[in-house]
Amino acid sequence: MAKIKTTYFCQSCGFQSAKWLGRCPSCGEWNTLVEELVQKEEPEKGGWRSPSSGPGSLKIAAKPKAIHAINYEEHPRVTTTDAELNRVLGGGIVPGSLVLIGGEPGIGKSTLLLQIALSLAGMRVLYVSGEESEQQIKMRAERLDAPTSDCHVMTETSTQNIFRVVEHFEPEILIIDSIQTMQSSLVESGAGSVSQVRECTAEFMKYAKESGVPVFMIGHITKEGSLAGPKVLEHMVDTVLTFEGDRHTTYRILRTTKNRFGSTDELGIYEMLGTGLRQVTNPSEILISQRDEALSGVTIGSMLEGNRPLMIETQALVSVANYGTPQRSSTGFDAKRLNMLLAVLEKRGGFRLGQQDVFLNIAGGLRVEDPAIDLAVCAAIVSSYEDIAIPPSVAFAAEVGLGGEVRAVSRIESRIAEAEKLGFKQMFISKYNMKGLDTKGYRISIKPVSRLDEVFQGVLM
């Protein structure tokens, strides 16, 4: 007989308790413990290759090995036709990896993975959906207008049934849509609960590591924006990707928040069209507005996202505060850093911004954390304050210190090359970046500066 017991799980972090608690001792959240039934099934009803499931059923005890005695054979990554996804994953799909993709409802997670599955010609791909019917997936595949591939679709939510099919089908890539709809017979609670999400993820992880088949899982998110389920879900998988963007705009951003096989600083940019997601190979062109005339408060700065340099538009609006305390509002930029730059401009630059409302916006919906955008932000604020337009052919790439000094930034060569490729004629950088920089090969005019007043004299006077 199966043994059934009741356990309380924290919906925020996955903490287990034998009794109900008002506050979770692990994460400190209130009223997050819910009661769930946990059932310990017999071994013959287990998951992937359980002790009596046929091939591979003999369990050999693991033995410790010296690290130099371990045989290591490097398997080539699976390179897809999606260059943006390859970049985000660190160069392609790693065999045996477990990848989790999360994002807002309707943002395009299922479309992205189905599009990738259809583009992998010559590979056996199994797309398992627990949310859509086969007919719905077929309709979406026809809309994507993807080339014919060896992609098979199955609608199932039981992990045991999925593994029975996988055992005979032997896919080269497995896609699960989504992990919150999967259910294991080892746990009695309903699909989407903390215990079910953890158990199903563990089964798919075991399958990926033992078979060497990459597994992609789609994950739901909560109203706070974090992945639904216990925090251990993100610890178990190899890679966590987040698909971001506003559903009212066409552009989507694929970010890496965890990657055991590559950098976590990369991002991919897509455009949502009627025929699917289009890769944006030159995102700087969509992040810079096309204007017929120069406007005050608008500058172009250089930032790095991973190894990719981007030219982005910074917009500032400075006006007199007529209603008491001045407002300080920023979109896509850290508000505390904005206050710091305003203090530097007032103390070191002599600009009276204490009674001014200041609004700052990073165009394109990006959130910037690169300090190299500081100089562009300061120039945009002063341009709006003085109501003097900065020529659209001028770009900025430097950090601003508390003393009003213009500091050097990393990888200045790639920033200059990106600005030159987009047709900029002049670029302000720190003079401390000039050490070892060969300016003869650039057509763009490079203006080295050391203090903020030198910048304003060069573009505003």
Annotated binding-site residue numbers for ATP: 103-110
Contact status, residue 239 vs residue 89, Cβ threshold 8 Å: yes
Contact status, residue 131 vs residue 155, Cβ threshold 8 Å: no
Contact status, residue 349 vs residue 405, Cβ threshold 8 Å: no
Rounded to 10 degrees, the C-alpha dihedral 185/189/192/198 comes to -70
Task: State the binding site.
Answer: 103-110
Specify the DSSP element, H or E, that contains 252.
strand 251-259
216 strand-pairing partners: 99, 175
C-alpha to C-alpha distance for 390 and 342, rounded to whole angstroms: 19
CB-neighbour burial class of residue 10 (10 A; exposed 0-12, middle 13-18, buried 19+)? buried
C-alpha to C-alpha distance for 248 and 246, rounded to whole angstroms: 5
C-alpha to C-alpha distance for 347 and 53, rounded to whole angstroms: 73
Buried b (16+ CB within 10 A) or exposed e, 192-210: bbbbbbbbbbbbbbebbee
Contact status, residue 134 vs residue 141, Cβ threshold 8 Å: no
CB-neighbour burial class of residue 372 (10 A; exposed 0-12, middle 13-18, buried 19+)? buried
C-alpha to C-alpha distance for 397 and 373, rounded to whole angstroms: 6
Q: DSSP 3-state assignment of 114?
A: helix
Q: Is the dihedral of CA 361, 364, 368, 374 positive or negative?
A: negative
